[in-house]
Structure 1
Amino acid sequence: FDGPCGICQHALTYRLCHLSHPPPVSPSGPVQVTKVNAEKERVSLRCMKALTSRGGVDAVSQQMASHPQYLESFLRTQHYILHMDGPLPLQYRHYIAIMAAAQHHCGYLVSLHSAQFLRVGGDPLWLQGLEAVPPRLQHLDQLNKVLAHQPWLTARSHIQALLKTGEQCWSLAELVQAVVLLAHCHSLSSFVFGSGTDADPVPLHIAPNGTPPGYCLCDAANGNVSAPPPLTTPSEHTTRRWVRAVGCGLYQTEYDIGQMIYSADPSRFITDPEFGYQEFARREEDHFQVFRVQDYSWEDHGFSLVNRLYSDIGHLLDDRFRSVTALPSSHGPDLKRAIWNYIHCMLGIRYDDYDYGEVNQLLEREMKLYIKSVACYPDATKIPLCPLPWAPLKPSERIHVNLLIMEARLQAELLYALRAITQYMIA
């Protein structure tokens, strides 16, 4: 993937690293690959540090910047599903993101995508709530709710209801992109709450793709451009005035330095506020069977299906999963595997070849409580977030834990949704 300028769109791309700092030409081999990877990470980190210090990245990217190679993969995927070619119009994409984030009362993402929804020409009246949007988007609410809180309930009937013939039906390609957006924003809400990003404001002067307009990542890394205004909260002495977009419920705080901050109420996009996560393992209903990865896995089933119905997204998602599991950790790969499998287990997904006794051996009780809070009910308005234990952890390691939670949850939702789509297609 390359941005329009071939170098510096929203994502820090491999193309960026090679164009701005091409690796030396020499015989290939393990040593050379290691050197190239180290150089790539060094340049990516320098780009992110430059932009972060100049206020050129959003709060989520600033949190992830300690893992630049993962951040590159994350931004590339997010840019693709929100801004690149796809069956859904841009207004629909940002509104679906609003719907997904609202399920966890994630004000940061709801406000961010509300602002971007208006930037791409969205109807302000839609921001009044779901009752103001076309029936097609209203029909997506049930699938959104189920995937967010109890993904094991996702069934062929949900897919069939959305794809039925009629003026307000979805195409299969549109639905697949919508599912990817929902899962992406649900899991990102977990990261936002886990990292404390939800307390940050959403500035207007950040461009829709996450970097200041005309701001080149390569130039930022090399220090060749003047810095944009910093993303600091305006001081109490700064003059401000409140502005409400007529009829849409989106508020702007406008400051005399030219900065405006959006805020929106997530509750207006929720139709069933009482619906939430329930313990899968304690359910008495016998018709909710465990999802066995040996029967339907990302590698053997989900990847090929989503990549066929939504071109290239499978490769981008797969790169995210590989990037997060490849991040170095002082606690070793067994702990990362325990976190991943524990999250999937809470969502009804089991691995026949894994000894789940390792979860209790490797994860302290406080760590399990934290993981469960972030993964299953990150909405801080309902259950206070248990603090992340392991005080000696470096900030980058704490971020690593939250990234693992986000990606494991993302894959779990995709597995349930894609399995339901597969069942619909073969029925």
Structure 2
Amino acid sequence: MEYPLRTQCQRVQKQVVVNGEKERVSLLFMKALVSRGSVDAVFQQMASHPQYLESFLRAQHYILHMDGPLPLPYRHYIAIMAAARHHCHYLVYLHSAHFLRVGGDPLWLQGLEAAPPRLRLLAHINKVLAHQPWLTACSHIQTLLKSGEQCWSLAELVQAVVILAHCHALCSFVYGCDADSDFVPRTKTPNGTPPTFCPFDAANGNTNVPQSLATPSEHKTRRRSLDSSCDMVCLKERIQKSQEEREKREERLLQTQTLQQTDMEEEEEIICFADPSGFITDPDFCYEEFARSEEDHFQVFRVQDYSWEDHGFSLVNRLYSDIGHLLDDRFRSVSTLPSLHSSDLKRAIWNYIHCVLGIRYDDYDYGEVNQLLERDLKLYIKAVACFPDATKTPVCPLSWALLKTSERIHVNLLIMEARLQAELLYALRAITQYMIA
């Protein structure tokens, strides 16, 4: 059957779009391949929205790997501290691996007490931003910037805050997609390896095919460094059979207090499991309902007084060059993704998350939240945004059975980005208050 020319053109255009999206996802995943030739669960979830995934990877790569005031080991250690507040094993293990790769001191992974005093000073603001961000105050900023020899510069603090907020929000996505369970040690003696792939390279166009595509026999015979992917099952068997050898390597590692840089083909696998509890101070501090009583109305954060568009963006971009544009691209990308969700529903989700975190929009009718969001969906959103690790696997709303997987993921992306912006608003407002005081 022959189609009219116009119909054929439309079919060709549609096919070009589909092929383009497939190539885009393939490009982003080329360096995110892990054991058994599969893609890590977190980025595999995000891949249903390649436009967003691209902006996410670009921002994350810039925060953790590109030019900035903080040294690379500090960045990953701060990420570990942030993920530990929610007991997110996936992120703790991932950044432990990256911390060692960039030359971090292995002794620091014993816990927060082993870290330099400057990093320990971040424990309080990390705790507050993670659980009760409305308590972030100018005094917290002053303490960090005026701590004698251990003081932080304003530029360093801004980057640290961005990393903390980014990782807190990513914890929500990890738990919302139930992607953390595979990284929880099942025994007291670790018998696995932290995820060691680096998907951030994809954002820079580095798409060399990783060696994880080698045959199973090659997995068993070749030694791999932290930069390589290897078969998890084979690795576990090998580790269990060579317990004594591993202990010797760990002892040698502690003695030298540095990573030995050798040829990748001969470098031994470094196994390091950081216990999240070792990076937590005041473990009983957790999310509490934001006060709504009349006497506490002064605590409400009104966007009309301090917004991302008019205040936060310019401040963060001035103190940490270009990060404002990258973060803004994430916020815009998640709100403009093609979706079955109406724009009103997406706005209701965003504003509801900000509401439970103490942020209010004077020009928004909050009656729409109850009209557009069913009760079970509200409970899910609040759990993932405010206390994601409380139940480990939040109960999904019944209405989700009618949604495509990509639509459910879109909701979790909205939760992550709304939480990220909320934490940034509180932190940046406190920094602004310090600067004008």
Aligned equivalents of 1:170, 1:236: Cα separation in 2: 41
Matching of residues 344-423 of structure 1 within 5 Å: 344-380=354-390, 385-389=394-398, 390-423=400-433
Given that residues 56 and 211 in structure 1 are in contact (C-alpha distance below 8 angstroms), is that contact kept between their aligned partners in structure 2? no
Aligned partner letter, 1:385: P
Shift of 1:43: 3.1
Cα gap change, 1:392/1:287 in structure 2, threshold over 3 Å: closer, same or farther?
closer
1:359-409 deviations in Å (ceiling 9; x for gaps): 1111111101110110000114x5762224321211111111110000000
Which residue of structure 2 lines up, in the alignment, with residue 234 of structure 1?
233
Aligned partner letter, 2:328: D
Shift of 1:238: 3.9
Query: Comparing both chains, which one has the higher relative contact order based on Cα–Cα distances under 8 Å and sequence gaps of 6 or more?
Result: 2
| Match of residue 136, structure 1, among 108, 118, 124 | 118
Aligned equivalents of 2:159, 2:421: Cα separation in 1: 15
1:282-313 deviations in Å (ceiling 9; x for gaps): 46862752101111000000000000000000
| Match of residue 44, structure 1, among 21, 24, 28 | 24
SS at match of 1:72: helix
Aligned equivalents of 1:273, 1:65: Cα separation in 2: 34
Aligned partner letter, 2:396: P
Aligned partner letter, 1:240: I
Which residue of structure 2 lines up, in the alignment, with residue 301 of structure 1?
311
Aligned equivalents of 2:213, 2:293: Cα separation in 1: 55
Shift of 1:265: 1.5
Given that residues 44 and 68 in structure 1 are in contact (C-alpha distance below 8 angstroms), is that contact kept between their aligned partners in structure 2? yes
Which residue of structure 1 lines up, in the alignment, with residue 325 of structure 2?
315
Which residue of structure 2 lines up, in the alignment, with residue 206 of structure 1?
196
| Match of residue 178, structure 1, among 149, 160, 176 | 160
Matching of residues 24-103 of structure 1 within 5 Å: 41-48=21-28, 55=37, 57-103=39-85
| Match of residue 344, structure 2, among 334, 337, 348 | 334
Aligned equivalents of 1:51, 1:116: Cα separation in 2: 15
Cα gap change, 1:231/1:191 in structure 2, threshold over 3 Å: closer, same or farther?
farther
Cα gap change, 1:53/1:173 in structure 2, threshold over 3 Å: closer, same or farther?
closer
Cα gap change, 1:204/1:279 in structure 2, threshold over 3 Å: closer, same or farther?
closer
Which residue of structure 1 lines up, in the alignment, with residue 136 of structure 2?
154
TM-score if structure 1 supplies the norm length? Answer: 0.81
Given that residues 169 and 417 in structure 2 are in contact (C-alpha distance below 8 angstroms), is that contact kept between their aligned partners in structure 1? yes
Q: For structure 1, list consecutive stretches of 5 or more residues without a partner in the other structure.
A: 1-33, 249-257
Given that residues 353 and 415 in structure 2 are in contact (C-alpha distance below 8 angstroms), is that contact kept between their aligned partners in structure 1? yes
Cα gap change, 1:309/1:350 in structure 2, threshold over 3 Å: closer, same or farther?
same
Given that residues 374 and 405 in structure 1 are in contact (C-alpha distance below 8 angstroms), is that contact kept between their aligned partners in structure 2? yes
Cα gap change, 1:216/1:280 in structure 2, threshold over 3 Å: closer, same or farther?
same
Given that residues 349 and 369 in structure 2 are in contact (C-alpha distance below 8 angstroms), is that contact kept between their aligned partners in structure 1? yes
SS at match of 1:278: coil
Aligned equivalents of 2:33, 2:120: Cα separation in 1: 41
Aligned equivalents of 1:317, 1:237: Cα separation in 2: 38
Q: Is 1:194 equivalent to 2:176 in the alignment?
A: yes
Given that residues 329 and 397 in structure 1 are in contact (C-alpha distance below 8 angstroms), is that contact kept between their aligned partners in structure 2? yes
Which residue of structure 1 lines up, in the alignment, with residue 262 of structure 2?
none
1:241-296 deviations in Å (ceiling 9; x for gaps): 35464498xxxxxxxxx977753311111111110001004468627521011110
C-alpha RMSD of matched pairs (Å): 3.1
Shift of 1:349: 0.4
Given that residues 88 and 177 in structure 1 are in contact (C-alpha distance below 8 angstroms), is that contact kept between their aligned partners in structure 2? yes
Aligned equivalents of 1:233, 1:274: Cα separation in 2: 35
Given that residues 293 and 350 in structure 1 are in contact (C-alpha distance below 8 angstroms), is that contact kept between their aligned partners in structure 2? yes
Given that residues 73 and 103 in structure 2 are in contact (C-alpha distance below 8 angstroms), is that contact kept between their aligned partners in structure 1? yes
Cα gap change, 1:237/1:331 in structure 2, threshold over 3 Å: closer, same or farther?
closer
Aligned equivalents of 1:285, 1:132: Cα separation in 2: 42
Cα gap change, 1:303/1:211 in structure 2, threshold over 3 Å: closer, same or farther?
closer
Which residue of structure 2 lines up, in the alignment, with residue 118 of structure 1?
100
TM-score if structure 2 supplies the norm length? Answer: 0.79
1:198-233 deviations in Å (ceiling 9; x for gaps): 123485573445569x9942x66xxx9993577764
Aligned equivalents of 1:53, 1:426: Cα separation in 2: 48
Given that residues 316 and 323 in structure 2 are in contact (C-alpha distance below 8 angstroms), is that contact kept between their aligned partners in structure 1? yes
Cα gap change, 1:420/1:353 in structure 2, threshold over 3 Å: closer, same or farther?
same
Given that residues 57 and 210 in structure 1 are in contact (C-alpha distance below 8 angstroms), is that contact kept between their aligned partners in structure 2? no
Given that residues 194 and 273 in structure 2 are in contact (C-alpha distance below 8 angstroms), is that contact kept between their aligned partners in structure 1? no
SS at match of 1:185: helix
Aligned equivalents of 1:109, 1:311: Cα separation in 2: 26
Aligned equivalents of 1:110, 1:191: Cα separation in 2: 15
Given that residues 57 and 211 in structure 1 are in contact (C-alpha distance below 8 angstroms), is that contact kept between their aligned partners in structure 2? no
Aligned equivalents of 2:293, 2:111: Cα separation in 1: 33
Shift of 1:331: 2.2
Cα gap change, 1:232/1:359 in structure 2, threshold over 3 Å: closer, same or farther?
farther
SS at match of 1:234: helix
Higher relative helix content: 2
Aligned partner letter, 1:299: E
Cα gap change, 1:260/1:63 in structure 2, threshold over 3 Å: closer, same or farther?
farther
| Match of residue 145, structure 1, among 93, 109, 127 | 127
Aligned equivalents of 2:294, 2:279: Cα separation in 1: 31
Percent identity over paired residues? 69
Given that residues 112 and 262 in structure 1 are in contact (C-alpha distance below 8 angstroms), is that contact kept between their aligned partners in structure 2? no
